[in-house]
Amino acid sequence: MAGLHIVVCMKVVPKSEEVTVNAETRTLDRSRARSEFNGPDMNALEAGLQLKGAHGGRISLLSMGPPFCEPYLRLGLAMGADAAFLMSDRVFGGADTLATSYTLARGVSAIGKVAGEVDLVLCGEESSDGATGQVPPGIAEWLNVPQLTYASHLDVVARRRVLRARRELGSGFEIVEAPLPCVVSLKSGCNEPRFLDLQRWDWAMGGAPVTVWTAGDMDFDRSCLGLDGSPTIVAGVSAASAATRRRELLSGTPQQEAEKLSELLRPLLPA
């Protein structure tokens, strides 16, 4: 296998600590929040860079979002990626996870056409704003390739063209394999994303290729894009009721405390 072509899906999200809630509409107000790369996507990029270091090849970054996402992709190029693709069009806006995964899957196929066959698609486990974790499996379904979710370590068995992933479980871990090409989502914090490589800085911020694709640049089923392609409906928004807590300090001998505690708990138990 002559090196891997890895696509890493990177979402630009508002910094969660700067998002506020509109008291009247109870919707999220992101207008004053600065943006950043979604944290787990940085782990996905680091995992991709480690595979590139071990097996050779190249990394293409893919994002769907407004034009202001472009400089963020350049940071990814400075970290070690080789090319970047931004899918940016008002028609893509308002997408739920079904439409987002469709659009990104079309993007992966388009990258395959212009930059060579794609062996592996890496994503973060979930975004910090939508946080559904549905997009990576969605991309795999649209591309009709296997998916491995919540991986914490990746390896490629080159002679068998197989991806081997470690998945953390509550009680241990499992090692699973899937044939390439496949889509993998990476656990948040599973590795330490590297710093920018300052030797790549001038190239990344200047001459590096960042291709911007609009809806007119490729073949889409328009009914699958943006709001039109999004069956999710927010039927209502309500504030969660604040939890009320009572506290009572028991005193006496251990025997007296135990009796008092059972007296207090008994009425709360089902009859």
Ligand X SMILES: Cc1cc2nc3c(=O)[nH]c(=O)nc-3n(C[C@H](O)[C@H](O)[C@H](O)COP(=O)(O)OP(=O)(O)OC[C@H]3O[C@@H](n4cnc5c(N)ncnc54)[C@H](O)[C@@H]3O)c2cc1C
How far is residue 73's CA from residue 177's CA, in Å, rounded to a whole number?
30
Binding of ligand X by 52 (CB under 6 A): no
Binding of ligand X by 214 (CB under 6 A): no
Binding of ligand X by 21 (CB under 6 A): no
Binding of ligand X by 147 (CB under 6 A): no
Point out which span in 76-84, 133-141, 160-168, 174-182 binds ligand X (CB under 6 A): 133-141
Residue partners of 158: CB distance under 8 A and separation at least 6: 1, 55
Nearest residue to 150 via CA among 131, 164, 135, 169: 169
Options 43, 60, 127, 147; binder of ligand X; rule CB under 6 A: 127
**52 or 187: CB nearest ligand X:** 187
Binding of ligand X by 7 (CB under 6 A): no
β-strand pairing of 147-157 with 162-169: antiparallel
**23 or 268: CB nearest ligand X:** 23
How far is residue 20's CA from residue 30's CA, in Å, rounded to a whole number?
7
**129 or 177: CB nearest ligand X:** 129
Shortest separation between residue 230's beta carbon and ligand X, angstroms = 7
How far is residue 211's CA from residue 255's CA, in Å, rounded to a whole number?
74
- 66: preceding bond cis by omega (within 30 degrees): no
**131 or 261: CB nearest ligand X:** 131
How far is residue 122's CA from residue 38's CA, in Å, rounded to a whole number?
13
How far is residue 230's CA from residue 180's CA, in Å, rounded to a whole number?
29
Q: SS3 of 223, please?
A: helix
Binding of ligand X by 95 (CB under 6 A): yes
For the record, the structure tokens of 22 come out as 């509109």
Options 4, 7, 11, 51; binder of ligand X; rule CB under 6 A: 11
Shortest separation between residue 77's beta carbon and ligand X, angstroms = 15
Point out which span in 70-78, 129-137, 149-157, 166-174 binds ligand X (CB under 6 A): 129-137
**Amino acid sitting at position 165:** A
Q: SS3 of 34, please?
A: coil
Point out which span in 40-48, 152-160, 166-174, 217-225 binds ligand X (CB under 6 A): 40-48
Binding residues for ligand X, total number by CB under 6 A: 29
**115 or 160: CB nearest ligand X:** 115
Exposure of 243 by Cβ count < 10 A (0-12 exposed, 13-18 middle, 19+ buried)?
exposed
CA 136 to chain centre: 7
Options 46, 51, 60, 63; binder of ligand X; rule CB under 6 A: 63
* Contacting positions for ligand X (CB under 6 A): 9-11, 28, 38, 40-41, 44, 63-65, 95-97, 100, 104, 123-124, 126-127, 129-136, 232
